[in-house]
Structure 1
Amino acid sequence: MGKFISIFFIIAQLSLGSLFVYAGVRKFIPSPARKSSSTELVPGSTKEHMIKFIGGLKANSYFWPFLGIVEITAGLLLVSQFFAVAGPSCLYQ
């Protein structure tokens, strides 16, 4: 059972790390403008607030690239297994 848990954690760390690297790299690739959706947003809705918030983060010239660098760094640390010893070892004590 212990070996299964170790393998599970390694697979989870590798997949999470690769997703972080992918998301971080996507921050630097410009995406084409989307067409407006056919449904209009209800003023004051949660979706409208989320769209405005993300739009504000992207409008900043420094936050979006900084977030991409942090995601790439965290993903590479997870994939490299360099700091991976601290996580699963806490479960066996």
Structure 2
Amino acid sequence: GERHGLATSAAGELWSWGRGSHGQLGLGGDSDGVHAPQRIQALAHTRIVEASAGGLHSLAVNDVGELFSWGAGRDGKLGHGDAKAQPQPKLVEALRGVP
């Protein structure tokens, strides 16, 4: 992302670090700076295989193809049907079951 990073582990864990002023770190709130990678606990129940850090939001896909998004929700970019910010990963229900 512009000011934050994401990394997946071989075990399917997702880690984030950097600036999280809009919740884009997925750690449950806003943060001026996380200087070392922290595991995103909200996704501990699922195996993440892909992740992408946008300017003020983040996306992740698990091993069964479900998409999660979080961060700034302006213009509906998180896919949850509103423009609300999400400080933790949330399943994009509109794409659930889409191959």
Q: Tell me the TM-score range normalised by the shorter chain.
A: under 0.3
TM-score normalised to the size of structure 1? 0.21
| Structure possessing the higher radius of gyration over alpha carbons | 1
Greater fraction strand: 2
More helix by share: 1
